[in-house]
C-alpha cells in the first residue's frame, strides 16, 4: 500500500514541477529506451522539466505504480496530472498536442 509519506512526496513533486518525468536513469544517461525517447521529446519541446530516477528508489518505483495505477516507466505528469508513458507521449507529440499541454 502507498504510504502517506510517499504519497505526499509524489503529490509535492507533481505539484511543484509543471513537467515531472519519472524515468529510469537520468536525462543525460537514460537506462531504458522508453525513458530515453521521452527525454528526447521533452528536450525538443524546450520547456523546463524535473526528473526522478526511479532505479535509485525502489519504494518510489512501487509507490508510483499504485499512485497512477500504471505499471511501467516512464511516467509523465503535466500540471499535476498523470499523462501516461512513452507510447501516449509519442502519440500526443505526433498530433501536436503535447506542445500545447506544456505551454
Ligand atoms: N509501453 C510502455 C513501455 C514502457 C515499459 O514497458 N517499461 C517497462 C520496462 S523499462 C517497465 O517500466 N517495467 C516495470 C518496472 O521496471 O518496474 C510505455 O508506453 O511507456
**Mean per-residue pLDDT over the chain, rounded:** 98
Averaged pLDDT for residues 14-41: 98
And the C-alpha cell for 32?
531504458
Assess whether the previous peptide bond of 74 is cis (omega < 30° from 0).
yes
Three-state DSSP at 91 gives: helix
- Helix (H) or strand (E) holding 50, with range, is strand 50-53
Give the per-residue pLDDT at 57: 97
Ligand 1 binding pocket includes 47 (Cβ within 6 Å): no
Give the per-residue pLDDT at 67: 98
The domains located in the chain, with CATH, are 4-96 (3.40.30.10)
pLDDT tens digits, 51-83 = 999 999 999 999 999 999 999 999 999 999 999
Nearest CA to 77 out of 9, 22, 5 is that of: 22
Q: List phi, psi (to 5°) of 85.
A: -105, -155
Q: How far is the CA of 4 from the centre of ligand 1 (A)?
A: 25
Give the chain's largest Cα–Cα span: 37
Ligand 1 binding pocket includes 49 (Cβ within 6 Å): no
Amino acid at each position: 500500500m502507498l504510504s502517506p509519506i510517499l504519497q505526499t512526496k509524489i503529490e509535492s513533486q507533481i505539484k511543484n514541477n509543471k513537467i515531472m518525468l519519472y524515468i529510469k536513469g537520468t536525462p543525460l544517461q537514460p537506462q531504458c529506451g522508453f525513458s530515453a525517447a521521452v527525454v528526447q521529446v521533452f528536450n525538443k519541446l524546450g520547456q523546463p522539466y524535473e526528473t526522478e530516477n526511479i532505479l535509485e528508489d525502489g519504494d518510489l518505483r512501487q509507490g508510483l505504480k499504485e499512485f497512477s495505477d500504471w505499471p511501467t516507466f516512464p511516467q509523465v505528469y503535466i500540471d499535476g496530472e498523470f499523462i501516461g508513458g512513452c507510447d501516449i507521449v509519442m502519440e500526443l507529440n505526433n498530433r501536436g498536442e503535447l506542445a500545447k499541454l506544456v505551454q
